[in-house]
Amino acid sequence: MLRPVELEIELFCLGMRIDPQSHAGEVGRRIARTRAGLGSGLEILIPSTRKDIWMNVPVLEPFAAKSPYLMTESAGKFYVVDERTDESYPVGIPPEPKWYSRLTSGGTEMSRIGVLQGNYLGIYVSNRCLYWALTPASACKFCTTGKNVGVAEESRKSVDDVVETAIAARDESGSVFTHFNTGYHYEDLDSKEKMHGLTQCKPYVSAVRQRVGGFIGVQAVPMPKHRWDQYDELIDAGCDHFSFCYEFEDPEFFASLCPGKEKTMGQKAFFDAMEYTSKKLGKGRVSGEIIAGIEPLEATKRGIDRIVNAGAFPTVCIFRPTIGSEMEHVNPPEPEAMKEVFAYLYEACKRGGIPIGILPIEVSLVVQPEEAADLVEQSFSTRLYSMKNRMLRQLARPYVAWKQRPATRSATA
Ligand code: SF4
């Protein structure tokens, strides 16, 4: 039998078929093709003695139709069956939140404002990423955002709609993290319309900090160096976390697969902003995001080291050839190669003393570093690192409870 993290990686790489007799598609969350399109799968829970693993299994892409994994249902319970071995793994299917189909006071269905990815709320705040509008085509080749924003989700989101959705996600789904992301938007200081993604996020960050509470993250392309005061302002407004998607460590892969990022800012801008914000916020509070399964494994490992050496948290996505992206016909990676990457990632975090698994935030689109603990040998240093993280998790509990209160309430308490 596979360990839970191994099953997770197998499913990310091979996808899953759904037995037409099962009701998985009816009881689960709707399949939301939003943001970069990675949420194109079925959200499931894999039981684990450490803690249940949330994951978003690819089910729509053509490779999933050839998967040896089949989701079945028996007596109201769900199983993932490996048809090569007949091994059967019980899994849970989180139900779709009731608030998804509720309207905000502005009249918009809440699922068009934000979606749960694991137990956190993801919100794409801006209009279509401008890389989609450049000539020649400059969008990242694995991305489908330009095809989703305005179709599967609202292109302009009011602050009140976002706050109402975040309150529903907090109260009814236990979300403790709201994550805002934007594509590429440059700033024109003479025009109120042309705002950098970071500037666009500011009113949402302030409102969620004041009226909702919880942890808040922002993902945007880097600000030019002379405007790094914008990071400071966002931190003052209540942002707890920044993430930087530099996607590929190998400069040639970066340039050819992210032509817009290469042309408008270059790879180094991501590292510089990541290092700056990591120093400001502290170890493990900023993440560098890369995609594994396209560039050589050694490059991915170098990327992980670079992120950890900057004091940041490596968020590694297993490449998914989402429908509608330029890379939709590229094969996803082999599970064994990805197990090697995540074992490496765990060891790198341990080496760098990066705290992992401290906050109760479950991300379904990636293998979280703490989940990878089962991929490495249990040595003395591994046990010590796990113990330290467990202690930090305990110590963080009062802080997490305090953070969950809106700032307006904390100030008047
Ligand atoms: S920056 Fe790249 S990945 Fe992000 S939305 Fe734009 S095209 Fe997509």
Select from 4, 67, 49, 37 the least CA-distant residue to 140.
Answer: 37
Residue 346 near residue 373 (C-beta atoms within 8 A): yes
Both tokens assigned to 62: 């053509």
Tell me which of 123, 126, 145, 261 to substitute to probe ligand 1's pocket, judged by most ligand atoms within 8 Å of the beta carbon: 145
pLDDT number for residue 306? 93
| Cα–ligand 1 centroid distance for 307 (angstroms) | 20
Both tokens assigned to 250: 């190998």
Instruction: Give dist(CA 283, CA 309) in Å, integer.
Output: 10
- Bridge partners of 354, per DSSP, are none
* 352: CB partners within 8 A, 6+ apart: 308, 309, 311
Q: Is 308 exposed, middle or buried (0-12, 13-18, 19+ CB in 10 A)?
A: buried
Residue 293 near residue 318 (C-beta atoms within 8 A): yes
* Strand pairing category for 215-219 and 177-181: parallel
Residue 304 near residue 367 (C-beta atoms within 8 A): no
Instruction: Give dist(CA 222, CA 243) in Å, integer.
Output: 10
Give per-residue pLDDT as tens, 326-337: 999 999 999 999
Helix (H) or strand (E) holding 80: strand 77-82
Q: Is the CB of 265 under 6 A from ligand 1?
A: no
Whole-number CA gyration radius for the chain: 20
| Cα–ligand 1 centroid distance for 130 (angstroms) | 8
Among the CATH numbers 3.10.450.50, 3.30.110.40, 3.40.50.2300, 3.20.20.70, which is that of 98-332?
3.20.20.70
pLDDT number for residue 202? 92
The residue written with tokens 């945007």 in the block is: 220
* Closest C-alpha to ligand 1, atom 7: 139
| Cα–ligand 1 centroid distance for 295 (angstroms) | 18
pLDDT number for residue 100? 92
Q: How many CA atoms lie within 13 A of 24 on its CB side?
A: 28
Domain range list for the chain = 4-91, 98-332
Mean pLDDT within 383-393? 94
pLDDT number for residue 188? 67
Taking the CA of residue 182 as reference, the ligand 1 atom at the shortest distance is: 5
DSSP secondary-structure letter at 95? B
Decide if pLDDT at 207 tops 70.
yes
Mean pLDDT within 78-100? 94
Peptide bond into 136 cis (omega under 30): yes
CA distance to 157, 158, 166, 216, 223, per residue, from 123 (Å): 9, 12, 9, 11, 20
What is residue 130's three-state secondary structure?
Answer: helix
Mean pLDDT is highest, among 7-21, 24-38, 106-120, 146-160, for 7-21
The residue written with tokens 């409102």 in the block is: 207
Tell me which of 131, 144, 291 to substitute to probe ligand 1's pocket, judged by most ligand atoms within 8 Å of the beta carbon: 131
* Closest C-alpha to ligand 1, atom 6: 183
| Cα–ligand 1 centroid distance for 50 (angstroms) | 34
| Cα–ligand 1 centroid distance for 129 (angstroms) | 6
- Bridge partners of 57, per DSSP, are 42
pLDDT number for residue 28? 67
Taking the CA of residue 139 as reference, the ligand 1 atom at the shortest distance is: 7
CA distance to 159, 312, 326, per residue, from 238 (Å): 15, 19, 36
Decide if pLDDT at 409 tops 90.
no
* Closest C-alpha to ligand 1, atom 1: 183
Give per-residue pLDDT as tens, 21-55: 887 767 666 666 544 445 678 999 999 988 899 99
* Closest C-alpha to ligand 1, atom 5: 183
Q: Is the CB of 142 under 6 A from ligand 1?
A: no
Instruction: Give dist(CA 54, CA 212) in Å, integer.
Output: 24
CA distance to 68, 130, 161, per residue, from 405 (Å): 45, 35, 19
* Closest C-alpha to ligand 1, atom 4: 183
Tell me which of 127, 129, 322 to substitute to probe ligand 1's pocket, judged by most ligand atoms within 8 Å of the beta carbon: 129
Amino acid in the structure at residue 76 = G
Q: Is the CB of 38 under 6 A from ligand 1?
A: no
* 86: CB partners within 8 A, 6+ apart: none
Tell me which of 33, 143, 198, 263 to substitute to probe ligand 1's pocket, judged by most ligand atoms within 8 Å of the beta carbon: 143
Select from 255, 131, 257 the least CA-distant residue to 184.
Answer: 131
Using pLDDT thresholds of 50, 70 and 90, give the confidence band for residue 283: confident
Question: pTM of this prediction?
Answer: 0.90
